Amino acid sequence: MSDLGFVETQRVVLGTEDDPLTLACGRRLTHVEVAYETYGELSPDRDNAIFVCHALTGDAHAAGHHGDPARRGWWDNLIGPGKALDTDRFFVISPNILGGCQGTTGPLSIDPATGAPYGLDFPLLQMSDFVAVHQRLLAHLGIERLLAAVGGSLGGMQVLQWMVDAPEQVANGVMVASSSRLTAQNIAFSAVGREAIMRDPNFHDGRYFELEGPAARGPKIGLAIARMMAHITYLSEEAMTEKFGRRLQDKTADVHRMGFGVDFEVESYLNHQGNTFLDRFDALSYLYLTRVMDYFDAFADPDAAARIAAARSRALVISFDTDWRFDTSHSLRVLRTLERAGVPVTFREIRSAWGHDSFLLQPPGYHETVAAFLDHAHEVCS
C-alpha cells in the first residue's frame, strides 16, 4: 500500500439564481458553492465512484496532502492505492457539507440579498439538504449511480439519508459508528456545547464578524469549551486511562499546593484540542451542524427502509465496542430496521480501545471489513 501524493481542493457553484437550492424548510439558496476533492480515476462506464461523507468537524480534504506530506487528509489511512477505498480501482469523491466552514456555503458565506454574511439568518438545515447538495455534485461530475457511499458518525447519517431519499443512486452504503437517530443523552451533549458558544460574550447574536479588536475573534472561549466537552465523548474511558491516567504535568509539583490550573495531563490535552480547533472551525457551523444531527430520524417515515429494499441496495453497518457516543445499540437499530424490510445488510462490531474516534483509526478488522465489502460490491457491479 502507498499514500496519495499532492491533491487540490476544487470548488464548484451548484446553486444559482436561475437554479436555486430549495431546502427542506422551504427556503431557497441562490448561491451554493461546494469545496470537494477527488482521488483515483473515474472508469469509462462511470461505475466505480465512491462518495465519502464526513463527520461533524471534517472537511473535503480526506486524503493525500496539500504540500506538506506530514499533514495528511483526515481519512488518509482508509483512502489510497491498495487501501480499503483503493484509488487504483475506485474514484473517490469527498466534499465539504452544506453549512460547513471549509469552502462550502454556510452561515459565514455572503448572503446575495444583503451583501453581508448570513450569520443566524442562514436557514436551518436538515440531513436531506446535505444529500441534495451531494446529488448536485454527482450530476456535475456526470455520475448517475454510486458504487458506494461511505461515512462515519455524521457521515454515516448522510449515507443512510441518501439511501432513504434516493436508494436507486446508492448501490451500497457503509455506515460506521453512526446512528439513525440521536438519544436524549447525545442531544444533551450537543445542547451544552451550543450553550457554551451562544453564552460567550463575543457571540454577539451570531454576528461576531461585525466586531473589531480582540472581540473580532468571536466566541472562541465558548467554541473551545464545546470542543473540549465533545472530545471527551469521542474517547473511551479505557483510552483516556491508558493515554493519561492520573498523571500530573509537573511530576515534581507539591500536590498539597495545587490550584485550579492545568495540573493533569488530560487537562492539558483537552486544552490543546480546544485551542487547535479554533484555527480550523467556525462557531456558527458548529451550531448548525449539531442541530441537524439532533433532528435526524432516518426511519420516521415507516416506508423508508422498504424503499431501500425495493432498490436492492446493500448496506454495511460497523460499530466499535468502546464507543459510548454512538454505542452498538445505535448500529443494531439500523441493522434490525433494514433486515426487517429485506435489505441485504452486513453488521460487525469491532473491538477497539479508542471509542468513537475508532472510525478515524485502524483497529484490527475494521479496514479489512470495509475492503471486503467493497471488493464484493465491485465484483457484483463489474
Confidence at residue 98, expressed as pLDDT on a 0 to 100 scale = 98
**CA–CA dist 241, 340 (Å, integer):** 40
Clarify whether 376 is annotated catalytic.
Answer: no
207 is in an annotated binding site: no
Question: What one-character-per-residue DSSP string does 23-49 give?
Answer: -TTS-EES-EEEEEEEES---TTS--E
The answer to the question of whether 340 is labelled as a binding residue is no
- Say how far apart CA 346 and CA 368 lie, in whole Å: 14
SS3 at position 244: coil
pLDDT of residue 255: 66
pLDDT of residue 256: 65
pLDDT-based confidence at residue 380 (cuts at 50, 70, 90): confident
**pLDDT value of position 258:** 72
CATH of domain 10-181+297-381: 3.40.50.1820
Whether residue 82 has pLDDT greater than 80: yes
pTM for the whole structure: 0.96
Domain residue limits, the chain: 10-181+297-381, 186-290
Residue pLDDT, tens place only, 113-141: 999 999 999 999 999 999 999 999 999 99
Q: Mean pLDDT over all residues of the chain? A: 95
Residue 382's pLDDT band, with cuts at 50, 70 and 90, is low
Distance CA 48, CA 67 (A): 27
Query: What nine digits make up the cell of 217?
Result: 475573534
Q: Per residue in 336-367, is it b (16+ CB within 10 Å) or e — as a string?
A: ebbeebebebebbbbebbbbbbbbbeebeebb
Q: Count how many residues are written for the chain.
A: 382
What average pLDDT does the segment 176-186 reach? 98
pLDDT digits (tens, 9 = 90+) for 224-258: 999 999 999 999 999 999 999 998 887 767 666 67
Nearest to 223 by CA among 241, 239, 199: 199
Average pLDDT over residues 297-307: 97
Catalytic residue among 54, 61, 134, 356: 356
pLDDT tens-place string over residues 95-118: 999 999 999 999 999 999 999 999
Element (H or E) spanning 150, and its range?
strand 148-152
Distance CA 56, CA 95 (A): 13
C-beta separation of 169 from 68 below 8 A: no
Told to judge if 179 belongs to the known catalytic residues of this protein, a careful annotator would answer no
Whole-number pLDDT of residue 267:
92
Output the CATH code of domain 186-290.
Answer: 1.10.1740.110
pLDDT at 215: 73
Question: Out of 323, 327, 330, 378, which one is annotated catalytic?
Answer: 323
- pLDDT tens-digit map of 320-367: 999 999 999 999 999 999 999 999 999 999 999 999 999 999 999 999
Q: Which residue in 54, 61, 94, 153 is the catalytic one?
A: 153
Let me know if 88 is a catalytic residue. no
